[in-house]
Structure 1
Amino acid sequence: MQLEFTWHGCDSAPAAPLVLGLARLAAAAQAAGHTGPLTDLAFFFEDPLGAAGGSLTERVNKSLDNRPTQRVPEPIAGIHPSRYRQKETTMITDETEVESWLREFIKTYDGVAGSVHVRQGEGVALAAAVNLPPKVREVTAFVPRGKGMAGLALERGVAVQSCNIQTDDSGDVRPGARAVNAQAAVALPVRDENGDVVAIVGIAFASDRAEFLGAELQRMEDHTRALLDRLQDICQ
């Protein structure tokens, strides 16, 4: 006896998630400053441009071995080149020392979530995050100057606050921020010894607030200066 089975299906449905994944990776590479053929994504294609030959398994293994990197621009405004020299670094989201500092900072002020972004070119890049949903981490991996609370704090050089990010209609809060389980929030500029903004620390709170008082903001900004040594370790 012989049993034959013929299966017919449309491959566009299983291909859709691959296209979305490829688009997201390409967008992340662009935000990190990569140009030209993205050889680390060769496993998406049968005959990839700019990549050496080999089986699919070999190309996948090569991509896994090559962790994403990003270049810290040289020079970065306000940072002396001898202290923050240009180099290839692993993604700064792996900097657990900065995350540890952030957790302690959030705890000190009874917050529920927070982030640290460091200056990179014409914006800030995510260095650490606590209690931020994966989607929020993704969309805030790089924040351009003047966009969202972190970008506005960079542009204005002063703290940017929101009484309630869930209902804020000022335009200062990006829609994706509402995915954070919090209400009041503030983005604090971190300045180096020259007074230039080199990072932005964000902290969010469980309930809404009328306004952060000047003395309270000053205390938090003074606290953020302790982050400078850790940022120096990232960029050296």
Structure 2
Amino acid sequence: MSLTNTALLEEIHNDINDDNPNWDKILKDIISYFDCSTGTLHFLEEGSDLLKLKSQVGIPPFLIPKLETIPIGKGMAGIAAERKQPVEMCNLQTDNSGVARPAAKETKVEGSLAAPLLLNGNLYGTVGVAKPTSYDFTEDEKNAIMAIGEVICKKIVE
């Protein structure tokens, strides 16, 4: 991990622990940390099985209404939430598994990673990042996004 990534990870942690976190900036820094171009941050709506969009970067405006509310079990974010583990696609554009929703292909991204926000086994939302090119996320990257998610959860439950 480069010094830049280490410093960026420290900045992400500091920003999350701020009294009033700027979720847009935090998501931008997470996207930058993973060298991605787009991302989403959803928080679980209390008392429901719905993920509500908290922040997004790089999503085409016409797709935002489709991403504002995601049922658990639907699309990459919903499946990551349901399984309580990261869901990855090397190339979202060529995926035929049915995990990615048809509208997701309209983002024009390829390498994608969605991870649940978990703390002590409890789900609080999801975070997703994507690259404009095909990419296989490493185990270290999956572990890093899960660790960032845990820090986010600690702030949510404060």
TM-score (norm 2): 0.80
How far is the alpha carbon of 1:216 from its aligned partner?
Answer: 2.0
1:25-64 aligned within 5 A: none
1:68-83 aligned within 5 A: none
1:231 aligns with 2:152: no
Aligned to 1:204: 130
Aligned to 2:107: 180
Which of these residues, 130, 137, 142, is aligned with residue 64 of structure 2?
137
Runs of 4+ residues deviating >4 angstroms = none
Name structure 1 gaps, 5 residues minimum. 1-94
Aligned to 2:138: 213
Contact 2:93 2:108 in 1 (8 A): no
Q: Supply the distance in 2 between the matched residues of 1:142 and 1:96 (Cα, whole angstroms).
A: 21
Q: Supply the distance in 1 between the matched residues of 2:54 and 2:154 (Cα, whole angstroms).
A: 14
CA RMSD of aligned residues (A): 1.8
Which deviations, in whole Å up to 9, do the C-alpha atoms of 1:45-68 show, x marking residues without a partner?
xxxxxxxxxxxxxxxxxxxxxxxx
Identity, in percent, stands at 28
Question: RCO greater where, 1 or 2, for CA within 8 Å and sep 6 or more?
Answer: 2
**Which of the two has greater strand per residue?**
2
TM-score (norm 1): 0.55
Q: Supply the distance in 2 between the matched residues of 1:221 and 1:152 (Cα, whole angstroms).
A: 15
Which deviations, in whole Å up to 9, do the C-alpha atoms of 1:60-88 show, x marking residues without a partner?
xxxxxxxxxxxxxxxxxxxxxxxxxxxxx
Aligned to 1:99: 24
Aligned to 2:4: none
Aligned to 2:121: 195
Q: 1:166 is paired with a residue of what secondary structure?
A: coil
Aligned to 2:85: 158
Q: 1:115 is paired with a residue of what secondary structure?
A: strand
Which protein is bigger by CA-based radius of gyration?
A: 1
How many matched pairs? Answer: 137
Q: Supply the distance in 2 between the matched residues of 1:98 and 1:229 (Cα, whole angstroms).
A: 14
